[in-house]
Amino acid sequence: MQIGIPAETLAGETRVAATPETVKKFAALGCEVLVQAGAGLASSATDAAYEAAGAKVVATAADALANADFVLKVAAPTAEEAALMKQGATVLAAFAPHANPHFDAYAARGLTCVAMELIPRITRAQSSDILSSQANLAGYKAVLLAANEYAGLFPMMMTAAGTIKPARIVVLGVGVAGLQAIATGKRLGAVVEASDLRPAAKEQVESLGGRWLDVPMSDEEKAKALGTGGYAWQPSPEYIRDQAAVVDKAVSQANIVITTAQIPGRKAPVLVKAETVAKMKPGSVIIDMAVGSGGNVEGSAPDQTVVTENGVRIVGISNIPALVATEASALYARNLLNFLAPMHDKESGRIVLNREDDMVKPTLVVDSGTVIYKKPN
């Protein structure tokens, strides 16, 4: 059976869905892997490295896709890319199903589309969890981006000419990206404060040496938060009001703000108001990691650095993992391998999607040409 790896076509997408390391493992399973020439270059993977790993490097996307039973991609295929695929092929990608306009094109081709971002957060699925692997790297990179944009330094420094105070970082949203941002900020010597509407995040923030920004919660809200099994809950107007006050106080004194709060499939909550940004010191930096899903910060814009009247730089990069493409591709490619390899059938030598598997079932947005994805309410 064939696996096709086309070069990514989305502007700014530097990652690739298979690396020489994963190609070698697919080849060892008996798969023939076709990689489009140059597909891995922006992720430091040369055509020669793919060939050495057992892939066949082909000139065009059409060559890589025409006979592929499985197609591995980072971004969702466009309608044009889907038209190059074999009828009935299975495609693994981050399909962004809530905002994807190409489902009819996938259906017309009889494709089966596996939206890797819909993998459930169960223990067994952790090694295939693309949201976690990419958010982790993005959280790290966001802090480095902030350090670059910031006119000051992060650590306290005692010099002969006097002492420099450490930078104050506020992290809003303490999931995978937020935790890595806290750890990275601490490693660079900053003072870090953080908040999340999941009370369980408090212990994690403190274990990394951060200070928890507490938003008062009623008993009813605490019960609601527990009831979601550790995931974000729908905050009440009272919580939103109290949170805004806590955020306003902390952010107006911060040098760096990193926001990561997202709600899968929905618009991100606005956590930092323009009036709060207006109170920040000139030269402060905000990295809005949720800018691709509407943004956590009033005034942020996708793929732009907005400089406010009071000299605050609001950085909105919609694809931070693409800025660390080598490692992001390595982890993403392993996520896909970890997902597919257990479904390899030794006897037939084929990978057979197990549609009843509780890890696979929620990811199927199009199955053999039938669109089955339903937008969350």
C-alpha dihedral over 190, 195, 196, 201, to 10 degrees?
70
CB neighbours of 220 closer than 8 A, spacing ≥ 6? none
What is the rounded CA–CA span in Å between residue 136 and residue 130?
10
- For the CB of residue 267, give the shortest distance to ligand NAD in the complex, in Å: 11
Catalytic residue, from 104, 121, 303, 304: name it: 121
Q: Position of tokens 């055509």?
A: 47
Bridge pairing between strands 364-367 and 112-115: antiparallel
Q: Position of tokens 């493409």?
A: 325
Q: Position of tokens 């309410």?
A: 377
Q: Which stretch binds ligand NAD (CB under 6 A): 83-91, 163-171, 249-257, 260-268?
A: 260-268
Catalytic residue, from 36, 132, 180, 262: name it: 132
What is the rounded CA–CA span in Å between residue 256 and residue 140?
14
From candidates 48, 231, 245, 274, binder to ligand NAD by CB under 6 A = 231
From candidates 27, 263, 301, 306, binder to ligand NAD by CB under 6 A = 263
No. of helices (H) and no. of strands (E), the chain: 12, 19
Contact letters for ligand NAD, residues 176-195 (x by CB under 6 A):
xxx-----------------
Q: Closest CB to ligand NAD among 216 and 230? A: 230
The answer to whether the CB of 34 falls within 8 A of the CB of 63 is yes
Q: Which stretch binds ligand NAD (CB under 6 A): 35-43, 226-234, 315-323, 332-340?
A: 226-234
Distance of CA 59 to the CA centre of its chain: 30
CB neighbours of 223 closer than 8 A, spacing ≥ 6? none
From candidates 71, 138, 232, 337, binder to ligand NAD by CB under 6 A = 232
The answer to whether the CB of 264 falls within 8 A of the CB of 237 is no
User: What is the size of the binding site for ligand NAD (CB under 6 A)?
Assistant: 26
Q: Closest CB to ligand NAD among 232 and 256? A: 232
Q: Position of tokens 């981050």?
A: 94
Phi and psi at 33, nearest 5°, equal: -110, 125
Q: Closest CB to ligand NAD among 46 and 126? A: 126
Binding of ligand NAD by 175 (CB under 6 A): yes
Binding of ligand NAD by 335 (CB under 6 A): no
Binding of ligand NAD by 321 (CB under 6 A): no
Phi and psi at 36, nearest 5°, equal: -70, 135
- Is residue 129 part of the annotated active site? The answer reads yes
- Is residue 231 part of the annotated active site? The answer reads yes
Binding of ligand NAD by 23 (CB under 6 A): no
Catalytic residue, from 2, 15, 106, 129: name it: 129
- Is residue 132 part of the annotated active site? The answer reads yes
- Is residue 150 part of the annotated active site? The answer reads no
For the annotated catalytic residues, the residue numbers are 121, 126, 129, 132, 231
Interface contacts to ligand NAD, rule CB under 6 A:
121, 126, 129, 131-132, 135, 173-178, 196-198, 230-232, 235, 260-264, 269, 271
